[in-house]
Structure 1
Amino acid sequence: MTRSVRIIGAPTDYGANRRGVDMGPSAIRYAGLADELVRAGVSTVDAGDVAAPRAEERDPDATAPPAGKAKFLRETEEVCARLADEVAAAIDGGESPLVLGGDHSVAIGTLAGSARDADVGAIWFDAHGDLNTPTTSPSGNVHGMPLAAALGVGEFADLDWAVAPGLRERNVALVGLRSLDSAEKKVIRESDLTAFTMSDIDERGIPDVVEEALAVAGDGTDGVHVSLDLDWLDPKEAPGVGTPVRGGVTYREAHSAMEAVAESGALRSFELVEVNPILDEHNETAALATELAASAFGKRIL
């Protein structure tokens, strides 16, 4: 039976500190996402983009929040609520949701939808931990908070719209970390999260690390959500991201990881985030995103 993938765009930049990432869904589609997925042997339905207010329509009081607040949290809630409904409906209809960000704050909606009526694990392919809260965040940018929100860390515990009901710390693996704030380090050390740094990948190799991450995320769950921030890759491979960090994974390592995800058969939902075409070179980061999505959904060299 051919797998059906529902493409859902979430064109936001509320959570980021640089403009342009809201054009990510368009750039990824333009780079040939649908064709790549067809070559992977899946059928596609493009549901378009969830409604997201333009930057000019946002609450002006939210542009410069006082210390300890999350920027544009109200707007983020509106978009993520719509996205959660779209993701849940896709899964209920037997489709695999593929969410295109936008900044990484959209993961709050993807996870809330994917884990609405199921126990779900998550693999976070990212240079960053995304475990800050409004109190601990140095910047107030929500794209550094989505995993904390989904897990109900800190103030997020009281925000029903943000918490992914079927997600547990013990089923979350972060892969490829190389830039963490002190508060995030504390959260990881005091939690049941599993974290793999780039040093772990250097020492053990990407196949071994991803195999363990899949085991963690899949242990007793109904499926695995994969969140892929393109800044997980080295900036030489993916220049079009807002928060690049040197020393990321290579092109081939990234494909190997996605191929392992496909081989596991556990993929429930998938998202690509933080592609910023303004910062990109010839749309190559968006093109790379399409290739990695195809690998995650089953495309092989032979």
Structure 2
Amino acid sequence: MSKPVFLMMPEWQGSASSRAMQLAEGAEALREDLPASATREVPVPLEAGDAMGTPVARLSSLLRARDAAREAIVELGDAPPVIVGGDCASSLAGLEASVRAHGADRLAVLWFDAHPDLQHPSTSPSGAASGMTLRHALGEGSPDLACEAPIDPALLTLIGTRAIDPEEDAEIERRGVHVLDPVSIAGVTDPEQRPDPDALAAAVRDRLADSGAECVYVHVDFDVLDPAEFSAVHEAVPFGVTVAQLTAAIRAAVASLPLAGASICEFAPASASAAAEDLPTVLRVLAALTSGTAR
């Protein structure tokens, strides 16, 4: 398998935040540290776009960005696409392409995210596409965004997910989605105790081994991290995973199975100083993601 290629996609239109444009600022900060030879730009509309008569906010711009990402991925050939710099909905083109390339029954999806992103457009409180990403990846939701090549829920794993609304909880149960709770896995009862990163990494290895998958797609929304370690997100959620846990788990995943693709989302620094403070963590995650030796 070829080396991964970074697709810089500063999409913000899928975010529910009033500060969504900070995603573009985060992408700009990250761009300078990505290797130019292994980075491609995905054009994202400047305008917000409109809902096109649907419950999905800014749908017109989201569709244009997704189509541009699809074209960019085709041009990569067999190189795994690593989509960076946008909201969670930016991952849809990469997920769909990975299913087409490898087959839904062979693609494990690891979803490192504080939210399950399983909202349905008809009941979403915000209309933001980011909160519907996995619903669309599973082939449901808005017909315009629903993946024609959906992922297999049996091979989907939520990791670090802790902000779940009732409808999403019901969807997780209905589809039998596997959930890894890093707190339970680490067995930490003392808030002063640091969890062992290897515990989550081992759980990820076991999950991938049991899945029977032949390759893995890794999605990271930085709100999966504990706010004490990473603040450059729109909606910080307490009691997240540590940077050490996240990077160890990703390294375990890509050492276990070849990387089919990835999406690194929601780096939204509020200022240049905030970007400088949290950028090293983003780069650590990218280094973990590209460390795989599995073939």
Question: TM-score with structure 1 length normalisation?
Answer: 0.82
Counterpart in 1 of 2:13?
14
The alpha-carbon distance between structure 1 residues 215 and 136, as it changes in their structure 2 partners (threshold 3 A), is farther
Q: Within 5 Å, which residues of 2 pair with 1:30-109?
A: 30=32, 32-34=33-35, 44-47=37-40, 49-54=41-46, 57-59=47-49, 61-62=50-51, 69-90=55-76, 93-109=77-93
Q: Higher relative contact order at CA 8 Å, sep ≥6: structure 1 or structure 2?
A: 1
Contact 2:137 2:150 in 1 (8 A): no
Amino acid at match of 2:34: L
Could you tell me how far 1:282 is from its partner in structure 2? Answer: 4.4
Could you tell me how far 1:71 is from its partner in structure 2? Answer: 0.8
Q: Secondary structure at the match of 2:120?
A: coil
**2:209 pairs with 1:208:** no
2:240 to 238, 243, 248: 248
Amino acid at match of 2:82: L
Deviations 1:244-290 (A, max 9, x none): 10111112111211220231132111121000122672423232111
Counterpart in 1 of 2:266?
274
**2:154 pairs with 1:170:** yes
The alpha-carbon distance between structure 1 residues 268 and 246, as it changes in their structure 2 partners (threshold 3 A), is same
Q: For 1:176 and 1:26, how far apart are their aligned partners in 2? A: 27
Q: Secondary structure at the match of 2:185?
A: helix
Could you tell me how far 1:134 is from its partner in structure 2? Answer: 0.7
Q: For 1:58 and 1:145, how far apart are their aligned partners in 2? A: 18
The alpha-carbon distance between structure 1 residues 215 and 22, as it changes in their structure 2 partners (threshold 3 A), is farther
Q: For 2:229 and 2:187, how far apart are their aligned partners in 1? A: 21
Q: Unmatched 5+ residue regions in structure 1?
A: 36-43
The alpha-carbon distance between structure 1 residues 149 and 168, as it changes in their structure 2 partners (threshold 3 A), is same
Counterpart in 1 of 2:121?
134
Q: For 1:128 and 1:164, how far apart are their aligned partners in 2? A: 23
The alpha-carbon distance between structure 1 residues 262 and 121, as it changes in their structure 2 partners (threshold 3 A), is closer
Contact 2:202 2:252 in 1 (8 A): no
2:218 to 226, 239, 242: 226
Counterpart in 1 of 2:28?
26
Counterpart in 1 of 2:175?
191
Deviations 1:29-87 (A, max 9, x none): 23x2339xxxxxxxx5111x211111xx333x54xx99x81111221122112212322
Contact 2:139 2:150 in 1 (8 A): no
Deviations 1:86-117 (A, max 9, x none): 22432xx3322111131111011221222223
What's the Cα RMSD here?
Answer: 2.6
Could you tell me how far 1:209 is from its partner in structure 2? Answer: 2.5
2:137 to 139, 143, 150: 150
Question: TM-score with structure 2 length normalisation?
Answer: 0.84
Could you tell me how far 1:299 is from its partner in structure 2? Answer: 7.9
Deviations 1:113-137 (A, max 9, x none): 2222321221101111000111121
Q: For 1:282 and 1:172, how far apart are their aligned partners in 2? A: 31
Amino acid at match of 2:251: E
Could you tell me how far 1:21 is from its partner in structure 2? Answer: 1.0
The alpha-carbon distance between structure 1 residues 131 and 212, as it changes in their structure 2 partners (threshold 3 A), is farther
The alpha-carbon distance between structure 1 residues 147 and 239, as it changes in their structure 2 partners (threshold 3 A), is same
Counterpart in 2 of 1:40?
none
Contact 1:170 1:193 in 2 (8 A): yes
Q: Secondary structure at the match of 2:135?
A: helix
Contact 1:123 1:214 in 2 (8 A): no
